[in-house]
Structure formats: structure tokens, C-alpha cells
Structure 1
Amino acid sequence: MIFKTEAGQRRIMRRYEEILASWPVPAERHQVPSTAGETFVLVSGPEDAPPLVLLHGSGSNAAMWAGDVESWAKRFRVYAIDMIGEPGLSAPSRPPLDSAAYADWLDDVLDHFGLDSVAIVGASLGGWLGLDYATRRSRRVERLALLCPGGVGRQKYGFLFKVALYRPFGQWGMRRSIKAVAGVDPRATPEVADYLTLMFTHFLPRRDRLPLFSDEALRGLTMPVRVIVGERDAMFDSRDTARRIGRTVPHAEVTVLPGVAHSIIGQTEPILEFLTR
């Protein structure tokens, strides 16, 4: 069970359906069979364009990319995947993170669409997934763009104190937690804050630590790599991420955004520029 209640699950799914109904570009919905259960994939962009796979963060779904897809779908066939075990339309299964299960699952999804190799954009947990796949299946990843990826820099836990501190204060406390952890300001982006508040009111996030990639695994990333992190990320040590990527993947482009927290926005065009070189 990945939701606190069935009623809460229905509320999240209703809101997700509203977002999908107002998707900014024409899109196809696919339910793809896999070894880990059915996987929902939202596909948009020209059929003959190069494939781009989008992997969202924890506590989210394909809705995360609503602000980016209009630009990216002009140049790519975009596959926005709902990760298994997250609050989307894919199976609730959560295989062990320290296994090949997620790479096997993504193999199933790509094989379903006949995709031999793809570019990947991943954020947070999706960044970890993109890295996991690229380290295990390097021949299938042409380019890799990562926003605040897990599995590289030291994982932080100090934010849990703030979450516990705000928990007794209902919706107000949840919004304060989201601002403290993700850096999402309800005054600046109220729709995003509302959506995250709905998610984390009713969804049970993963509790297990993200496995760290070894230096050896990171050195195996021979494809072009772009990494963007926020200086004030409360979940991952961004300086540590930048140092490790710089040391093990010297050809990678790494940007540390000053004053930015875990939630990274406004990178649609920089990522598109990297993907289309």
C-alpha cells in the first residue's frame, strides 16, 4: 500500500486526471506490461523524432513535466513515465533499490516501444533511476540530463526534524514542510505547492536510503552528461554531488545554481540545448 487511505488515493488520481486532461500538447496514453506490473507512459511529440524519456521525482508523476513538455516535444518523441511505486498510474510495486530490478523494468518499457537507445532526463529519484539505468545499460542511453539526482552526493536527513516539527499543524504545517524540504514557495508557485501538499497528505513516500553509486560505476558513464543541482538542496549535498561528478565523469557539465533548493525550475531551455547538440 503506497497511499494512506483509498479516499486519499482517489483525490490524488482525480487531480492527476485533471492535469492530464489539460496537457499542453497532444499526447497518447499507454499502459505497458512489465515484470514489475503495468506502467503508465504519456507519449507526445512527432513519431519520427528521436526518443526522450522523462523520469520524475519521488512523490510525483508525469505531471512534473507539464511545464517542459511543450518545448521538448517540438524536437523529440517524449515518453513521460510514471515510475512504479509512486503516486501515478503505474503499479505500486517497489522492488529493492539495490538490485537490477529497476533497470529490468525500464528495459521492458523501452522494449515495448521498440526503443534501442534514448536520451534521459531525470529529477531527484528519477535522476537516481536514470543513473542506475545508464550505469547498467550504457549502450541504451545516448544522453543523460540530471536535476538534483540522488545516489551521488551525501544524502541529508536534517530536514526530517523540520517535517516532524510542522506535522501537528495540518495543511499549514504540510506547506511549511514542503517549502523547507523542496524549496517550493506557496506564494510564488501556489499550484505546485497545492499539488505537493495533496500528494504528501495522502501518499506514503519511500523510506529506504538511495544506494550511492560507486566511483567505478560513475566512471562508466561515457555518454554526454549534464547535471544541475541547487546550492541549498535540503535532501542531497549538492557540493558533494558536483565534486564526485567532476572527479569521476570529467566530460560532464555540472551547474550549481546559487540560492536554489531541491526543487529546480526554469531549466527547460538549458536542458533542450544540451539534448540537441
Structure 2
Amino acid sequence: MKNQVSKLSVFTSPAGELEVLRAYDRVLQHWSVPYTEQVVPTSFGQTHVIVSGPPEAPPIVFLHPLLATSTIWGPNVEELSRDFRTYAVDIVGEPNRSVPSRPMTKSSDITQWFSEVLDGLGLAEAHLVGASFGGFLSAGLAMEMPERIRRLVLIDPAATFHAIVPFYIHLFIPKFLSLLFPRLPSTRQHIRRGMNWLRNGLPPDPLWEDLFFATMVHGGMTNHIFPRVYPRRRLATISMPTLLLIGAKERLYRPSTVFRRASKWVPDIQTQIIPNAYHFAALSQPGIVNSHLQEFLADAGSAGPLGPHSPVQGKKQPQRSAESQKAHHWAKTIRQATETAKAVPLFITAPLFRHWHLRWGATDQEVTGPMPGDELVPVSHFTATRAITIDADPEMVWPWLMQVGFKRAGFYAYDLLDSLGEPSAETILPQWQDPHIGDVAAPMTSEATPSTSFTVASLHRPDSIVWSKPDSTWAWHLTKLPTGGTRLVTRLKQRYRPGPSLILTVPLLEFGDFPMMRKMLLGIKARAEATASASASASTQGRAP
């Protein structure tokens, strides 16, 4: 099957993509049972599925570990496809044969994607088997759409019941370094050491190990879903029979601790240790795992009908009375803290997706094309070009940019972080609408200094503005679209110059810039479109007889 080209790349380079897909095909050539490859269109891209087994047999859907690809299930499909129809899914947004079109950023996106995959495969319901990150996703799906999952199998699930700090130390940090310093030979050595650590002294599957190494070196992710420990009350809602399998040589957590928690938190669960198996237990001991799966799924019966699904409708917030201001203050703080906490995975894993987020929303032409102010920082170690389409004219977008800054309108992002909890403005502030060359722009602190704030370097209303400070520029360009609306493109350039401030600058940009900029662009879009909508409504009412 030819791989389709996507504007949303999950590879660090074309050469890296070629290496990964060649390794993928080499593993697939050793798939020991007949199979077909099916591509399911979804709202998040084309999802590639490897299908084996009798069409009339009970269906099993497999979700693979992070960066592992669906080929990891080959040794399991070999035996299970005799009695089941197996569907090994390449999770969209990872370096595999699926082709993403937009990222999955929240749990409801995963639910929508998986539901569309089942629909595309013609499955009313199925048994669901997930390993590692796929296990974490499977547990979430079991809570969100129990009517479509007959039985659930979790194999060494990432987080879910227990934090996985060792993963970040031994695998995430080497992957992060490889993205920051791709030409540094030692980064590949660190990745290889992390993989060896994960296997805990057990021998590798040579063919698949080469593929996993290639995805670790050359792959990334477009999704923003990261493994976490689910609340107990949520796990208690898993209603279908569940089987939890963990390798005896698991290194991310103690199997006994996870078994104890799972037995307390999940109503109908069985637990089994897999001897002489590491984190990828289904790969390291396929015979034992297959035996447990066959026994667990044998008496499950057949699939049932597909039921309707209703979207959740939003609710309008009630007006607050003057007496409730104090309560509102605390509610606002809690809400901001919750929103910030939910974004923590975006911050800590941003370097993992650096090649993608540096061009979030932007086209190839926007990324490679010139922007006002480029010449001010000719040497840039961090260049991020992002873009968004706004259903409002440039004249309605422009004012929201003019008032950006601390103690001004805020940054329309995570207010607890960038404005000390002061909510970003929802209205236009006239006092900030007439900047001039040299004026302070987008101040980061109340005391504006050259190191904490930009100044206006270029200004062409309402088409472009450039903010600059030593070794850095932040440019904005607005283009009126022929069909109406605005294309808003922003470019941030930063030179990493040796000095005391570098210790702070690098983490702020590498970890913090993308989540804040993404939220800011979405915030500008929401505000400008609301202004345009209100203006159109007022104009219509004004013309009414």
C-alpha cells in the first residue's frame, strides 16, 4: 500500500519517514497469516488497519503502544486470527501508515475517532485489546463508550492506575534530546539504552526492534493525549468484564501495586502476571498472552447492534449577582488552575512535537515565506511560524493584537500563568489602540524592560506589526481572504545567545511557547469572531423596518 502524503507530518524529515515506513514494511512482510489492509477515513485523518481472520468471527480491535505501530501485534494475530476477526489499528497521529489531518487534543476526540473507526470497519461492537499507551486509551474508551466494547483487555497499560515517572527518565528525555539535537550521535545511543532498559535483560525481537528504534529516532506525534492516572470514580464506571495482564519484568511500576489498585477500583476485573515478560508483554511472551486472551474471550458471545449517539450540548452560564463576587473569585481561580493543570502534558511534552508545533496551523508557503521583521534576527535558533483562519475581517482582528500584554488585555491564553490570574479582556480597550514605533508592546511584566518586553519595530495598520527586543522578534501578518475572513500568521524568532538569561529563555520557549501560542491564537479567533457576529447582528437589526 502506498503511503499517502499529509500536510500534518508525524516524521522529523522525509528521509526519516522513508526509513520508518521501510522498516514497517519489512515487519509486515513477516506477518504469518493472510491479511488485508484497510484505510478508514475519519475526522482526524486516514486510519490504516491490518485485518486478519474469518469475516464472520467475533471481532477484536488492537491498539498499540506509543510509537510501536500496529505491527507489534503480529505474533498475537498469528494465533488469535484462527478464532477471531482481528483489526490491528495504526493510531492516527503517530509515525505509522495512518495519515493524520488534524490532531486529537482531548479525550472526546479519541472517542470520536475510535467510534468512526468502528463505523468504518462495520463493527457494532468489538472486544478491545490495548497495550501500554494503547491500554491507557482503551481504558478511557471503555468509560466513554461502553455500549461498543464487549470485553476489555489491558496489557501493561501506561499510567491508568499508576504514574510512570521512569518512562520519562529513560525514554522521554532521550527522545526529547534527539529532537533538539538530531545530529548529535550520542542521542541515538541514549535512545538505544532506554530501549534496552525497558526490556530489562530480555532478548529483543530483532525485526520489530529495528522499527521501534526508527520510530523513536524519526517519529513524533500530532496528538495531545498523554497517559495519566484516571480518577478512581471514573475507573469504577468500567462496566464490561476486564482482563489486566502485566509482565513480571515490568519497569514502569510494580505489578503488585497496580493489581491491588485495579482490583479495588474496577468492578469486574481479572489480573494475571505474565512470567518472563517486559513492558511489551504481548510481544515478549505471545503464547502465554494469547492463551489468556482466548480463555477470557471464549465465552463472550457475539456482537450486538449499533446504538445512537447524541452530542453533548453546551449550557449558557447564568448571570452572577453582586453578592456572589467572592464565591465567583474562588470559582474563577479553581477554573483557571484546572485549565492550566489539564495543559501540563502540552508543556512537558512540547519538545517531542517540536518539528510539528513550530508550524502549527501554517501552510508550507507560510512557513518558508518571508515575514516582516525577519531581517532583525538573521540568526535564529527558535523560529516558530503559526497560523489560524478567522471568520472576521482584519479590521476586527487587529484591535485584539494591539492590546496584548500584562496589565493590559492579557494574552488570551492561560491567565493563571501569564497574567497572574487576571482574566484576559473580552472587550476592546481603547487606551491601547494607537501604538507608535518604539512603544512598549506585549509587556510580560508590570515593569517593562528591554529583556521583559518588546517594542514596536514596524507597523502597517491593519496588515502587519512587528514587535522586537534584542535577539528576538514577534511578527504578525493579517491577510484578508477572498471569500471573507482573515488569515492570521505569526512568527516568533529567538537567537540563543550564551549568557545567564539563556537558562530561562530555552525552557520557556522549548516547553512553554507552543501551548501558550496555540491558546492565544484560539483566543484571538474566538474574540474576533464574536465581535464580527455581534456587529453583523446589530447591522441587521438596524436595517429592520
Q: Which amino acid in the other structure matches residue 216 of structure 1?
A: R
Structure 1 residue 48 and structure 2 residue 48: aligned?
no
Q: Which amino acid in the other structure matches residue 274 of structure 1?
A: F
Whole-Å separation in 2 of the counterparts to 1:237 and 1:3: 33
DSSP-derived class of the 1:39 partner: strand
Q: Which amino acid in the other structure matches residue 193 of structure 1?
A: E
Whole-Å separation in 2 of the counterparts to 1:132 and 1:11: 32
Post-superposition Cα deviations, 1:88-109, rounded to whole Å, max 9, x if no partner, equal 111334312x431101101101
Whole-Å separation in 2 of the counterparts to 1:77 and 1:257: 24
Cα displacement (A) at 1:182 = 4.6
Whole-Å separation in 1 of the counterparts to 2:169 and 2:236: 35
Unmatched segments (≥5 aa) in structure 1 = none
Unmatched segments (≥5 aa) in structure 2 = 1-8, 178-184, 300-545
Whole-Å separation in 2 of the counterparts to 1:134 and 1:178: 30
Whole-Å separation in 2 of the counterparts to 1:94 and 1:202: 18
Change (3 A) 1:133 1:35: same
Change (3 A) 1:51 1:6: same
Post-superposition Cα deviations, 1:114-171, rounded to whole Å, max 9, x if no partner, equal 2111001110111111111110111111111110112422222234444558976355
Q: Is the 8 A contact 2:27 2:208 kept in 1?
A: no
Out of 257-266 and 20-29, give the one that drifted further: 257-266
Q: CA RMSD in A?
A: 2.4
Taking only the aligned residue pairs, the percentage that are identical comes to 28
Q: Which amino acid in the other structure matches residue 272 of structure 1?
A: Q
Figure out how many residues of one structure are paired with residues of the other and give that number.
275
Determine which structure has greater relative contact order: mean sequence separation of CA pairs < 8 Å that are 6+ residues apart, divided by chain length: 1
Q: Which amino acid in the other structure matches residue 87 of structure 2?
A: Y
Q: Is the 8 A contact 2:104 2:224 kept in 1?
A: no
Q: Is the 8 A contact 1:153 1:238 kept in 2?
A: no
Q: Is the 8 A contact 2:48 2:89 kept in 1?
A: yes
Q: Which amino acid in the other structure matches residue 52 of structure 2?
A: S
DSSP-derived class of the 1:65 partner: helix
Whole-Å separation in 1 of the counterparts to 2:27 and 2:243: 28
Whole-Å separation in 1 of the counterparts to 2:22 and 2:243: 35
Change (3 A) 1:156 1:82: same
Aligned twin of 1:272: 294
TM-score by length of 1: 0.89
Out of 227-236 and 21-30, give the one that drifted further: 227-236
TM-score by length of 2: 0.47
Structure 1 residue 234 and structure 2 residue 242: aligned?
no
Aligned twin of 2:29: 21
Aligned twin of 2:132: 124
Change (3 A) 1:165 1:171: closer
Q: Is the 8 A contact 1:159 1:180 kept in 2?
A: no
Cα displacement (A) at 1:188 = 4.7
Q: Is the 8 A contact 1:218 1:248 kept in 2?
A: yes
Cα displacement (A) at 1:241 = 2.5
Whole-Å separation in 1 of the counterparts to 2:25 and 2:273: 34
Aligned twin of 1:115: 123
Whole-Å separation in 1 of the counterparts to 2:252 and 2:93: 20
Post-superposition Cα deviations, 1:62-94, rounded to whole Å, max 9, x if no partner, equal 101111111111111111110011121113343
Q: Which of the residues 205, 212, 216 maps onto 1:196?
A: 212
Q: Which amino acid in the other structure matches residue 95 of structure 1?
A: M
Q: Is the 8 A contact 2:160 2:227 kept in 1?
A: no
